[in-house]
């Protein structure tokens, strides 16, 4: 077995995250930033935007190539399919993803059974080209009817060196709706086979067909939040896609890709995820926490330190707020990570105290960008960590999905 399958075998954490039913939401909290071995696979082809920073090049046989070959119940010739797979499978250290969206397991029982037979044949031929790689199907998880989940299990039984590759593309500006869709996919994965890894596909453009947002760029803050959430859920990785299909990325899209906020947000995430902080113990995890206010009885301060990236704290709709975490003992604090919701602070301070009365400011800003902020080199000591939140960026309340603190 190659190193990649061994890695995925070790990272099969979904049974810890999910119950065996799609109705059980939200996910069970996980220790924040455990050593997940998270890998971001790069399947982008934007002419002016090369991700780099440790992203691993991906392999995808695209739908626009595959679907014409299976139209009308057909299959390509075995030799032709193998040659096509070899053409797109250029990185042996990454999964091989096959995309034939006309063969989703939907429709009547007879239709779904026919699709299964063709999926199984294509995958078996691909396996002969890539004997040791993880091989899976893009979007099949979210496009399998409940009645046909048994057919998906048959496909998995044929070749267990596989994974789920659901779409986690963005349709709206709301963070909660994106999380709900992702969590539904994860719950379905647990129903079908909780042992298989899940590597969602993300895209720095809004999904086509969604009106005014269609194909426009996802803001840096929203994209950074998505990357952080995928990491913090304990998934083994994700695949970032975009730019390879001229139908959804024309010349203007290609030329503008490199100047959009998603690119530095992605690079900052990759740099952080490769740092010691990404796997260091979170000093704030599950510690007692108080706030000067909470928006309601659901958005409470404990949500910011519970290790669950899908829960958050929100303040009242007013400036001059504070969130204080008792770290339990006086300790060095070198770094803090803040994962903001759409309501964030432009002006705030990070403060430490040994007694909860006298405070030392270790970080201050009046130009906070929101999104995900990685604050390093703080060089402070204290038992209590306080965010003194001075000015909101908008009329929205201050709101944080996660507050993490590190001694490294």
Residue 238 pLDDT grade (very low, low, confident, very high; cuts 50, 70, 90): very high
The per-residue pLDDT for 4 is 42
CA–CA separation, 139 and 340 (whole Å): 29
pLDDT per position as a tens digit, 166-219? 999 999 999 999 999 999 999 999 999 999 999 999 999 999 988 999 999 999
Residue 150 pLDDT grade (very low, low, confident, very high; cuts 50, 70, 90): very high
289-406: in CATH 3.40.50.880: no
Average pLDDT along the chain: 92
The per-residue pLDDT for 12 is 38
Examine the pLDDT at 20 and tell me if it is beyond 50: no
Examine the pLDDT at 10 and tell me if it is beyond 70: no
Tokens of 318: 């007013």
The per-residue pLDDT for 37 is 86
* 210 or 19, greater pLDDT: 210
Least confident of 20-34, 63-77, 377-391: 20-34
Examine the pLDDT at 26 and tell me if it is beyond 80: no
Examine the pLDDT at 27 and tell me if it is beyond 80: no
Neighbours of 74 (CB within 10 A): 9
pLDDT per position as a tens digit, 96-147? 999 999 999 999 999 999 999 999 999 999 999 999 999 999 999 999 999 9
Examine the pLDDT at 237 and tell me if it is beyond 50: yes
Cα–Cα distance list, 272 to 173, 268, 269 (Å): 25, 6, 5
Count CA within 13 A, CB hemisphere, residue 276: 7
The CATH number corresponding to 3-278 among 3.20.20, 2.40.50, 1.10.3470, 3.30.700 equals 3.20.20
pLDDT-above-70 percentage for the chain: 91
User: Looking at residues 244-261, what average pLDDT do you find?
Assistant: 96
pLDDT per position as a tens digit, 281-326? 999 999 999 999 999 999 999 999 999 999 999 999 999 999 999 9
Residue 21 pLDDT grade (very low, low, confident, very high; cuts 50, 70, 90): very low
Domain ranges of the chain: 3-278, 289-406
């Amino acid at each position: 077995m190659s190193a990649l399958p061994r890695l995925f075998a070790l990272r099969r954490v979904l049974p810890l995250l999910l119950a065996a039913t799609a109705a059980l939401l939200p996910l069970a909290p996980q220790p924040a930033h455990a050593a997940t071995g998270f890998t971001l696979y790069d399947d982008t082809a934007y002419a002016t935007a090369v991700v780099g920073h440790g992203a691993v090049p991906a392999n995808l046989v695209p739908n626009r190539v595959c679907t014409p070959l299976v139209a009308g119940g057909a299959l390509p010739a075995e030799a032709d399919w193998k040659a096509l797979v070899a053409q797109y499978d250029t990185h042996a250290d990454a999964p091989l993803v096959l995309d034939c969206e006309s063969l989703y397991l939907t429709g009547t029982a007879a239709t779904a059974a026919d699709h299964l037979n063709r999926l199984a044949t294509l995958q078996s031929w691909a396996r002969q080209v890539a004997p040791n790689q993880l091989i899976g199907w893009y979007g099949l998880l979210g496009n399998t009817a409940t009645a046909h989940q048994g057919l998906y299990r048959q496909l998995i039984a044929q070749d267990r060196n596989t994974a789920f590759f659901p779409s986690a593309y963005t349709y709206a500006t709301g963070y909660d709706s994106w999380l709900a869709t992702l969590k539904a996919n994860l719950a379905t994965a647990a129903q079908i086979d909780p042992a298989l890894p899940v590597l969602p596909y993300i895209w720095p453009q809004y999904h086509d067909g969604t009106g005014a947002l269609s194909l426009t760029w996802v803001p840096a803050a929203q994209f950074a939040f998505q990357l952080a959430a995928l990491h913090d859920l304990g998934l083994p990785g994700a695949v970032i896609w975009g730019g390879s299909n001229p139908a959804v990325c024309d010349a203007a899209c290609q030329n503008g890709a490199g100047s959009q906020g998603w690119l530095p947000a992605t690079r900052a995430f990759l740099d952080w995820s490769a740092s010691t902080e990404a796997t260091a113990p979170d000093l704030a995890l599950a510690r007692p926490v108080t706030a000067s206010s909470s928006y309601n009885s659901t958005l409470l301060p404990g949500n910011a330190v519970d290790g669950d990236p899908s829960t958050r704290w929100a303040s009242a709709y007013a400036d001059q707020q504070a969130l204080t975490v008792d770290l339990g003992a006086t300790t060095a604090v070198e770094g803090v990570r803040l994962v903001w919701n759409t309501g964030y602070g432009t002006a705030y301070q990070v403060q430490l105290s040994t007694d909860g009365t006298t405070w030392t400011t270790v970080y201050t800003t009046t130009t906070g960008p929101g999104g995900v902020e990685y604050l390093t080199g703080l060089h402070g000591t204290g038992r209590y960590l306080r965010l003194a939140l001075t000015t909101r960026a908008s009329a929205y309340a201050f709101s944080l999905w996660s507050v993490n603190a590190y001694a490294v």
